[in-house]
Structure 1
Amino acid sequence: MSPPAECDILIIGSGNAGFSAAISAAQASQSHKQKPRILLIDKCPPEWAGGNSYFTAGAFRTVHSGLADLLPLVNNVDPETASKIDMAPYTTANFSNDLHRMTSERTDPVLSKILVNDSNEVVKWLAENGVRFQLSFNRQAYEVDGRIQFWGGMALKTEDGGKGLVLDHMRKANELGVDVLFSTPATRLVTSSAGVVTSVMVFHEGEEREIRTKAVILAAGGFESNPRMRAQFLGPHWDMALVRGTPYNTGDMLEIAVRDVSAKQVGNWSGCHCVAWDANAPADAGDREISNEFTKSGYPLGIMVNRSGERFVDEGKDMRNYTYAMVGREILKQSGHVAFQIWDSRTISWLREEEYRPEVVERITADSIEELADECAKHGLENKEQFVRTISEFNRAVSSNETSQWNPAVKDALSTTGLATPKSNWALPIDKPPFLAVKVSAGITFTFGGLGVNSETAAVVSSKTGSEVPGLYCVGEMLGGLFYDNYPGGSGLTSGAVFGRRAGRDAARFACGME
């Protein structure tokens, strides 16, 4: 398929936000007498469809009133399993408080209110449109004393993670007649003398072409795959971070929007989502097969040390999905940008199989701490004596903690005593062989800085006029102002769907002249 000379609505980006916008626009314009042509383009080739959404675990954070509210949406819970589930409601106050707490009260109050208030409705809308949801037993629940306890305020994921989400989106978009064109990067936004977006210049098969359009929705991701922009905006050493997802999120459309329409720049441009990531993973792009399994999120169950053999974070400060998006930043600060996660036989069995099985990660094992130090030294540990000393000091600091009280599904207050770097929860001695260590680095997921928008419609705001750029919208990672320094896990996909749906709806109204 070659680029058409014109369409009514043009979406740039094939991730969750872009497809949510395309589906919403198609549905909003179904009653229009002349069906509008909706085109979605992406600069990536078709085998890289889905942007960063493809590489996620498919987690959606949403307000809900408890298990009964979510059961109609999921396909992996039988009555017997349901009878064993403990799941507290996650209220609008819970979600709002988590957003404000994670961002140190910097989140845009209007954007965040819309995200929270629309979250339940939008996951039900996604389910109605073919997205297959499941309860996230593997990532968000532990079985304790025969009960399946969900924790951290999040319970929903998509079947087969991001892979399944993108497949479901593409299936629905095709059903609604949305055209999709890959290997077609946008190069310029063209506006009329009145400042209205009238066309997009694209590059396809060696030629620059013009696509005339009435509305454009930007959903092309952040700059997390661009080492120059990472170093420029995030700071020193960020060019060394490993890329978790697509290599095509290089910030092009952010720069094009600022250059061509003076789009307002807002949010935390020096902030990003960055996790503990397999140190042996590819440097510049995720693996489409292994995907999110390179994540190494078991650190709350054990400890982490740097190459000098010293701990550097409170591994038990909060539930994992409130700390995982920033722990990569702390790893990046360490010598060589790496660390070692360590457990003993008490907690090894609690690690998620998809992240820690031998087929996915290089497991460093030993029957004594001294032997573990020797083995880690083969993988870059520089101070074996300090490694042994750190674990010995940690064990003394938790010697009074009772294993019977340990509960990974709640903040159990089993903490260290007297350490400069505490562990606030889930602190048990590491003294029961066999021992396991895994080498990790920093995996960048997405950047937080983006463009300013009308909160209700996601229409882009001009820095020159302070008004909307007519016919231009922005969603997904490109939308700025929601996240600062950290974020509650699962909020990114929910944001993409919430504001993608709103942008699609308003773009249809604008393009079709609907009131």
Structure 2
Amino acid sequence: MKRPVPCLQISQITAGGVELVVRAEAIPAEHLEVLVLGTGLAGMCAALSAREAGAAVTVIDKAPETSRGGNTRFSGGALRCPTAETPPEALIEELDRITKGRASPALARVLYGRAEDDVQWLIGLGAPLASPSVERPDLRGGKMSYHVRGNGYGLVESLYPRLAERGIECRFETKAVDFITDGVGRVSGVRAKTRTGYVDVLARSVVLATGGFQANTEMRVRYLGREASSLVVRGSKYNTGDGIRMAMAVGGQSLGDWGGFHSAVMDARSEPVEAGETNINSYPYTIIVNRNGDRFVDEGEDFFDTTYVKYGKAVIAQPGSIAYCLFDAKVAEQELVYCLHREFEPVHASSIARLAQALGIPGDRLQATVDAYNGSVQPGEFDPERRDGKRTQGIVPPKSNWALALDTAPFFAYPVTGGITFTLGGLKVDDRARVIDTEDRAIPGLYAAGELIGGLFYDNYPGGASLLRSLVFGRLAGRESAAASKEVQASHAAR
């Protein structure tokens, strides 16, 4: 229940010695049990988990209701989970390899150790999960265990009704601007800005699930460098680092790869913000050249799910932050290469020279690159379903798998750039999802989940692990915040 709004009388002495009396209305306040910030997968899982644990829960989000879901709304909907063939230990080892030993072992154990149970919980809530081999042929060969029908949008729309069904209130266009703390440093709520003014929302515990800072140009430039100012933002325009800033203002410790971000190889014709899934995930079956006509990566190093982040960044580093995925009629006939949601068609031409002209690439340079590549292709069986070992020899960079000569007209090209999905730097949390302060102590009353958790991903990233992080730490933060709320209630009752 909201408190009545009293008037405050404030005296002020002016330079001339005249006393002025200013009357100002105090900010209204209300008291809750568990408050969750954000309606992405992490926020919704936290809210549902806390409610399941017996807490009354309120969720606020600065976005309008029509834009609910945060970055989850724009995701590909893939989950990288342990299976009988790939146990948790194997995925922990993979994460350690991909991040070159920098991922937090404690957080990795939480992520993959809880995954199987949490996925079943998600399915029980009505999430439409399916085999990725059925729903997403572009995920062939990777380690995605599940894919959500309808991608991230389908996931958001399947979970959002569960909130109301369980009595969880959601308030949109309500932006948290600062944490409220008590005299001993416990987070006891937020000050929020609504369409009608400010309100103090007090709560026994708070879960922070507001995402990274990828849609904040100033923060991108500050932490990622000047070239990050023009990055295509793949997801929500509302993920501007608010929660990270608020937590650090009350002593939250930063952790992770603050100069790193999740990228992707995506069509260069995408919208600059909220571009969505315009990925070209099938680049391993192409050769990628820059605007000078030169190759610069081993396109066939591995399946896309372990290379797309670093290759998106590699494209960004090229002149003009643009490149081109080239393939010929042999590959086109197999429908192996396409824009994920097929909004864009490839450029095509009857010869390499004419394709170069259409792309604005020096024709002689591109022809030389293609000739050198074709001459290096080794014999072997092409198989897009596995790492086939069909490689090049004698050129740099090599192509380690799926090396087919570009020799059959017509020839095709997708113009690509690197987009930003989420940032890798964030807050330090422990294995109970509690936010840790700069003295390595848990901040009482404050929990975090989702993208703003630091310490798991560095430089590169295994596809499908971010949604899993939101699920696992969201459910964990909800359960822990509900328990903390009960502890506060019990301590107040004992006084």
TM over 0.5, yes or no?
A: yes
For 1:213-252, list aligned pairs within 5 A. Answer: 213-252=203-242
C-alpha separation between the residues in 2 aligned to 1:494 and 1:4?
A: 35
2:12 is matched with none
1:449 is aligned with what amino acid?
A: G
Conserved 8 A contact 2:339-2:345: no
1:243 is aligned with what amino acid?
A: V
Instruction: Work out whether 1:329 is the aligned partner of 2:313.
Output: yes
Determine helix, strand or coil for the equivalent of 1:162. Answer: helix
Determine helix, strand or coil for the equivalent of 1:423. Answer: coil
Conserved 8 A contact 2:279-2:339: no
Instruction: Report the alpha carbon displacement of residue 354 of structure 1 after superposing the two structures with TM.
Output: 5.8
Instruction: Work out whether 1:268 is the aligned partner of 2:253.
Output: no
For 2:172, which of 167, 179, 182 is the aligned residue? 182
C-alpha separation between the residues in 2 aligned to 1:412 and 1:492?
A: 28
C-alpha separation between the residues in 2 aligned to 1:365 and 1:325?
A: 27
Conserved 8 A contact 1:401-1:427: no
Instruction: Work out whether 1:401 is the aligned partner of 2:379.
Output: yes
Determine helix, strand or coil for the equivalent of 2:31. Answer: coil
1:458 is matched with 433
After superposition, the Cα gap between the structure-2 partners of 1:354 and 1:242, relative to the gap in structure 1 and judged at 3 Å, is closer
After superposition, the Cα gap between the structure-2 partners of 1:440 and 1:4, relative to the gap in structure 1 and judged at 3 Å, is farther
C-alpha separation between the residues in 2 aligned to 1:140 and 1:282?
A: 23
1:480 is matched with 454
Determine helix, strand or coil for the equivalent of 2:330. Answer: coil
1:391 is matched with 370
Conserved 8 A contact 1:141-1:409: no
1:98 is matched with 94
2:25 is matched with none
Instruction: Report the alpha carbon displacement of residue 187 of structure 1 after superposing the two structures with TM.
Output: 0.5
Residues 481-513 of structure 1: per-residue CA shift (max 9 Å, x gap): 000011110000001111111110010011123
C-alpha separation between the residues in 2 aligned to 1:448 and 1:330?
A: 17
C-alpha separation between the residues in 2 aligned to 1:180 and 1:490?
A: 27
After superposition, the Cα gap between the structure-2 partners of 1:397 and 1:316, relative to the gap in structure 1 and judged at 3 Å, is same
For 2:347, which of 364, 380, 397 is the aligned residue? 364
For 1:104-143, list aligned pairs within 5 A. Answer: 104-137=100-133, 141=137
After superposition, the Cα gap between the structure-2 partners of 1:372 and 1:356, relative to the gap in structure 1 and judged at 3 Å, is farther
Instruction: Report the alpha carbon displacement of residue 111 of structure 1 after superposing the two structures with TM.
Output: 0.3
Instruction: Report the alpha carbon displacement of residue 120 of structure 1 after superposing the two structures with TM.
Output: 1.0
C-alpha separation between the residues in 2 aligned to 1:197 and 1:247?
A: 27
For 2:421, which of 432, 442, 445 is the aligned residue? 445
Instruction: Work out whether 1:422 is the aligned partner of 2:398.
Output: yes
Instruction: Work out whether 1:12 is the aligned partner of 2:12.
Output: no
Instruction: Report the alpha carbon displacement of residue 174 of structure 1 after superposing the two structures with TM.
Output: 1.6
Conserved 8 A contact 1:401-1:428: no
1:146 is matched with none
C-alpha separation between the residues in 2 aligned to 1:215 and 1:108?
A: 25
C-alpha separation between the residues in 2 aligned to 1:153 and 1:235?
A: 32
Instruction: Report the alpha carbon displacement of residue 108 of structure 1 after superposing the two structures with TM.
Output: 0.0
2:461 is aligned with what amino acid?
A: Y
C-alpha separation between the residues in 2 aligned to 1:90 and 1:332?
A: 33
C-alpha separation between the residues in 2 aligned to 1:205 and 1:301?
A: 50
After superposition, the Cα gap between the structure-2 partners of 1:479 and 1:319, relative to the gap in structure 1 and judged at 3 Å, is same
For 1:2-401, list aligned pairs within 5 A. Answer: 5-29=30-54, 36-65=55-84, 89-137=85-133, 141=137, 151-259=141-249, 261-286=250-275, 291-292=276-277, 294-348=278-332, 349-351=334-336, 355=340, 357=342, 360-377=343-360, 381=361, 383-398=362-377, 400-401=378-379
C-alpha separation between the residues in 2 aligned to 1:198 and 1:221?
A: 21
Conserved 8 A contact 2:37-2:59: yes
C-alpha separation between the residues in 2 aligned to 1:273 and 1:389?
A: 33
Residues 322-363 of structure 1: per-residue CA shift (max 9 Å, x gap): 001221111110111111111111212333656274xx1142
C-alpha separation between the residues in 1 aligned to 2:134 and 2:410?
A: 24
C-alpha separation between the residues in 2 aligned to 1:26 and 1:356?
A: 36
After superposition, the Cα gap between the structure-2 partners of 1:138 and 1:332, relative to the gap in structure 1 and judged at 3 Å, is farther
Residues 458-498 of structure 1: per-residue CA shift (max 9 Å, x gap): 011111x3211111001100111000011110000001111
Instruction: Percent identity, please.
Output: 35
Instruction: Report the alpha carbon displacement of residue 150 of structure 1 after superposing the two structures with TM.
Output: 5.2
C-alpha separation between the residues in 1 aligned to 2:122 and 2:144?
A: 17
C-alpha separation between the residues in 1 aligned to 2:151 and 2:308?
A: 18
Aligned residues: 462
Conserved 8 A contact 2:280-2:339: no
C-alpha separation between the residues in 2 aligned to 1:138 and 1:271?
A: 32
Which segments of 5 or more consecutive residues in structure 1 lack a partner in the other structure? 30-35, 66-88, 143-148
1:375 is aligned with what amino acid?
A: A
C-alpha separation between the residues in 1 aligned to 2:148 and 2:345?
A: 28
Runs of 4+ in structure 1 over 6 Å off: none
1:201 is aligned with what amino acid?
A: R
After superposition, the Cα gap between the structure-2 partners of 1:334 and 1:150, relative to the gap in structure 1 and judged at 3 Å, is closer
Residues 266-304 of structure 1: per-residue CA shift (max 9 Å, x gap): 111111110011111111333xxxx31x11111100111
Conserved 8 A contact 1:355-1:361: no
Determine helix, strand or coil for the equivalent of 1:436. Answer: strand
1:84 is matched with none
Which segments of 5 or more consecutive residues in structure 2 lack a partner in the other structure? 3-27, 491-495
Supply the RMSD in Å over aligned alpha carbons. 1.8
2:493 is matched with none
Conserved 8 A contact 1:139-1:352: no
Q: Rg larger in 1 or in 2?
A: 2
2:143 is aligned with what amino acid?
A: G
C-alpha separation between the residues in 1 aligned to 2:341 and 2:256?
A: 35
Determine helix, strand or coil for the equivalent of 2:481. Answer: helix
Conserved 8 A contact 2:280-2:338: no
Conserved 8 A contact 2:82-2:145: no
Conserved 8 A contact 1:413-1:426: yes
Determine helix, strand or coil for the equivalent of 2:291. Answer: coil
1:401 is aligned with what amino acid?
A: P
C-alpha separation between the residues in 2 aligned to 1:354 and 1:137?
A: 18
TM-score (norm: length of structure 1): 0.87
C-alpha separation between the residues in 1 aligned to 2:354 and 2:219?
A: 42
Residues 93-126 of structure 1: per-residue CA shift (max 9 Å, x gap): 3211211111111100010011111111111110
